[in-house]
Chain A
Amino acid sequence: MTLFQRIKKILLSICMFAAALFFILNPSDEAYMAVVSILSIGLAVTGIKDIVYYYTMAKHMVGGKIILIQGVIILDFAIVTGSLTNVPKIFILMYLIGIHAFSGVVEILRAMEAKRVVEGPWKMKFSHGVVNLVLAIACLIFIRQPNTALIIYSIGLMYSAAVRLFSAFEKTTFVVIRL
């Protein structure tokens, strides 16, 4: 990782922390709308990028269809997220439960697969999966609280920021095969 990449990571994590703190301390409908919009736009950009990458590059790659499927699912999530701005918060919570539970199970399954086929960095993946599942369960437990969606999203944001910050300072783990 270059110095510039490290600085970029640190700045982004600080911004994520600040946003999460702001949402937790000032829970309001406007903050809620902002979160949903950011989430929707972010997902849409990722989904479209994946789809474009599939059609321009990964179409010819063994196993490349998974990138298209991933792109379509993410774009679908983006559209659904964007359309949820005017519906009751209970639906948002159910949606958050679905997203976190789904990502959690997928991450844990991928970690297990990584452990079986390729020995290596499966622990991080596994812990991501567990955190996602915990967030899904938290959504279920606090489903009747008015600001649960915002708080759960903020906690997730803080977790991502912490992981990002940690990786920025971490000695780069790098497996380069001497060619």
Chain B
Amino acid sequence: MQMDFHYYATYCAAFIAGYSHEESLDIAYSAQFVDDCSRTLLAKIKGPSSAATTQMQLEMMDARTDPIGLQDITRIWASFHFLPRDLYAEKKKCSKRYLNKYRLICGPNGDLVVKTVELAKGKPLQSVGIAMHVLADTWAHANFAGTPSLVINNTNYVFYELFPDGDGYKEKQIKFVHKTSAPDDLDNSIYTNSLYQRNENTIMNLGHGRAGHLPDYSFARYRYLPAWGEYEDMIKENPADYMKAFTQMIYAMKYIRGEYDAFETETYDNEAVTPHLLRIKEILEKRQVIACDDWKTFGEELSGRKITDYSMDTYFEEYMKSSKADKDNTFLGRFIRGAIVHKGMVIDEIFRSGNILAGFSKQKIINEG
């Protein structure tokens, strides 16, 4: 997902869930900041590198792919962008090494989403934003794993874009290119993806790189063969999935606000979006590279307030100028704390499942959370 959903749509969901305009902006900023909080950024603001929630392109270029390096990559990507659906998934006749990767496949409505949302309850708004980012990505990034793996994340030439046509779909084969300089050509179904590399652990095989940005586009519908799927076609309908992400975020935030006693999977607040259903569907289905403007207009109509555009460095000065003792009480200090606690929880759950791909976390951090 991109800024359109993580910032503007998250603002809309938070406002519908009952947060004030200001609170919704804080949640939206935190949700989007997950995509920016790299080690490079943390070094710049003198924050702890263990709070990194993403890796920049240059960091990834230099990332080690030995077991220690892989654990580092997996901690970040599996915790914040590809939350595993089922850490105890079974597959017959496969090695432990394969199973460890297979169990990291991301998907919605898993036990870890529940733990993520529960962890954010009673915490500052920054933690709510982090949880909403993670929850939303479980829908967009479903079927890919947050660890480099050819056998899980690879795709091949069987990749078709689907266009609604009467009761069914018209198919068009997608052409992938490797030019980051040119934007995706939506009219001709030409998209950029990462290079095919036969090495199991190369960074090219991380997440949905081999499927390009298709999972990030709310309008996209496509059919393909996931590498792990035993030759069964997978049809991904992003408009429907993104709608579920949106309504699940509303439900999750209502739970965090105390409207519900428990957060349950497969539960969506469809009622809350009924008055806006057509409008939201229209935004989700519109073929465009980024839908920030549409979500922003919708959000401003909802709250009747101006939504300030996302600016990454909004809270840098406050954090950098604070004394060591006060840092934890700044906006970014609370974000950093929330990120470390969330990451610790996910790493610990992966480790407890007998999977060493993410290493292990210090128990102290989890308990303090």
A residues bordering B, Cβ < 8 Å? 1-2, 53, 55-64, 67, 117-121, 172, 174-179
Contact A60 B94 (CB under 8 A): yes
Beta-carbon contacts under 8 Å, B227-255 to A? 227-231
**What is the predominant secondary structure among interface residues of chain B facing chain A?**
loop
Name the residue on B nearest A117 (C-beta): B157
Contact B62 A175 (CB under 8 A): no
Rounded to whole Å, the gap between the CB of B74 and the closest CB of chain A is: 13
Interface size on B (CB < 8 Å)?
49
Interchain CA distance A121-B204 in the complex, whole Å: 14
Contact B209 A179 (CB under 8 A): yes
Given A60-B98, A176-B60 in contact, is the A53-B195 Cβ separation under 8 Å?
no
Given A63-B156, A177-B212 in contact, is the A56-B98 Cβ separation under 8 Å?
yes
User: Does B226 sit within 8 A of A, measured CB to CB?
Assistant: yes
Interchain CA distance A179-B34 in the complex, whole Å: 11
Name the residue on B nearest A1 (C-beta): B61
Contact A61 B195 (CB under 8 A): no
Q: Interface segment, B7-15, B171-179, B283-291, B306-314?
A: B171-179
Given A56-B97, A120-B178 in contact, is the A174-B225 Cβ separation under 8 Å?
no
Contact A56 B95 (CB under 8 A): yes
* Contact flags B47-68 to A (C-beta < 8 A → 1, else 0): 0000000000100111010000
Contacts of B98 in A (CB 8 A): 56-57, 60
Contact A57 B95 (CB under 8 A): yes
Contact B213 A120 (CB under 8 A): no
Rounded to whole Å, the gap between the CB of A177 and the closest CB of chain B is: 4
Q: 21 A-B contacts, Cβ less than 8 Å apart?
A: A56-B95, A56-B98, A57-B101, A60-B102, A62-B156, A62-B228, A62-B230, A62-B231, A67-B198, A117-B157, A119-B178, A120-B195, A175-B180, A175-B193, A177-B193, A177-B194, A177-B208, A177-B209, A178-B57, A179-B77, A179-B82
B residues bordering A, Cβ < 8 Å? 57, 60-62, 64, 77, 81-82, 91, 94-95, 97-98, 101-102, 141, 150-151, 154, 156-157, 175-180, 192-196, 198, 200, 203-204, 206-209, 212-213, 225-231
* Pairs A-B, 3 closest by C-beta atoms: A120-B178, A119-B177, A61-B151
Interchain CA distance A57-B97 in the complex, whole Å: 7
Contacts of A61 in B (CB 8 A): 150-151, 154, 227-228
Interchain CA distance A175-B193 in the complex, whole Å: 7
Interchain CA distance A55-B81 in the complex, whole Å: 30
**What is the predominant secondary structure among interface residues of chain A facing chain B?**
loop
Name the residue on B nearest A58 (C-beta): B151
Rounded to whole Å, the gap between the CB of B231 and the closest CB of chain A is: 6
Q: Can you add 16 more A-B contacts, CB < 8 Å, to A59-B94, A121-B195?
A: A56-B97, A58-B150, A60-B102, A60-B230, A61-B151, A62-B226, A63-B154, A117-B157, A119-B175, A172-B61, A174-B57, A175-B193, A176-B61, A177-B192, A179-B207, A179-B209
Contacts of A121 in B (CB 8 A): 178, 195
Name the residue on B nearest A118 (C-beta): B176
Name the residue on B nearest A56 (C-beta): B95
Contacts of A67 in B (CB 8 A): 198
Interchain CA distance A146-B26 in the complex, whole Å: 78
Contacts of A62 in B (CB 8 A): 154, 156, 225-231
* A53, A58, A62, A120 — most chain B CB neighbours (10 Å): A62
